[in-house]
Amino acid sequence: MQAAADIFFPSLCFSCESKLPDNRYLCIKCRNQIQFLNPPLCRLCSRPLKINRTGLCKKCSNKRCSYNRVIGITAYTPPMQTLIHLFKYKNCDYLINLFSSLITTYFLKTGFKAAGYDFITAVPMHPVKLKMRGYNQSMLLAHALANYFKKPLKNGIIYQTKLRASQTRLKKEERAKNTNEMFTAEGDLTAKRIIVVDDMFTTGATAQGCSRALREKGAEYILVITLSKA
Ligand SMILES: [Zn+2]
Ligand SMILES: [Zn+2]
């Protein structure tokens, strides 16, 4: 049966579509192309740094934001661009298996253990969008991280209350303001140290919107972990 299935549906690399000898997602060449963001990294945007005493890149040295730290696991370069696109927009939720192995590889190597954090949560999705997509990809990643760090995973802490309007025509500042106002948080989070998980870190506007909402409920320290950093 297996052989017959292979003839009609051979496993192909998700990135370069070369034929694979087994049911992995990537060929060895594409797997080796994934660029992990190894420390030292800028504390607020995860950009790789040369040895830097402040732990901040030039761009972030005067930045004011509600989160305290960002850890990006990989650079948003091939094959991550393709994989994340499939994960978000093409129903490839099973790619979480591959991403879980990247998470494990990365944190074993860096030795980061998330000691002192109270719980893990994810950037939420608007209920309308969630119904259309069927899953929240950031919540799948948060689940994998909660397993790895052995920390509680909490759903229903942050809510996206507004749908993202088509932002292309808005100016950069308006776009950031828009995103900032999309989120609210629930419950008393006084003195809580929270890990917020997102699939991507681009401008940081989503991380800021979620963190601002958590701060309003008393959160003390917010670490944002993202699978990829653009
Ligand atoms: Zn490949
Ligand atoms: Zn930075």
Please tell me the distance between residue 67's alpha carbon and the centre of ligand 1 in angstroms.
Answer: 36
CB atoms within 10 A of CB 192: 19
pLDDT, residue 111, reads: 94
Question: What secondary structure letter does DSSP report for 166?
Answer: P
pLDDT, residue 11, reads: 86
pLDDT, residue 2, reads: 47
pLDDT, residue 166, reads: 61
Q: Where are the domains of the chain?
A: 34-229
* Ligand nearest to the Cα of 42, by number: 2
* Ligand nearest to the Cα of 47, by number: 2
Q: What is the DSSP string of 103-157?
A: HHHHHHHH----TT--EEEE----HHHHHHHSS-HHHHHHHHHHHHHT--B--SS
Please tell me the distance between residue 41's alpha carbon and the centre of ligand 2 in angstroms.
Answer: 8
Q: Which amino acid is at 210?
A: C
Q: What is the pLDDT along the chain (230 residues), one digit of tens a residue?
A: 445 444 555 689 999 999 988 778 999 999 999 999 999 999 999 998 987 677 999 999 999 999 999 999 999 999 999 999 999 999 999 999 999 999 999 999 999 999 999 999 999 999 999 999 999 999 999 999 999 999 999 999 999 988 776 656 667 777 777 777 899 999 999 999 999 999 999 999 999 999 999 999 999 999 999 999 99
Please tell me the distance between residue 11's alpha carbon and the centre of ligand 1 in angstroms.
Answer: 11
pLDDT, residue 165, reads: 66
Please tell me the distance between residue 99's alpha carbon and the centre of ligand 1 in angstroms.
Answer: 16
For the structural domain made of 34-229, what CATH number should be given? 3.40.50.2020
Cα torsion angle, 160, 150, 113, 49, sign: negative
pLDDT, residue 5, reads: 46
pLDDT, residue 8, reads: 54
pLDDT, residue 23, reads: 72
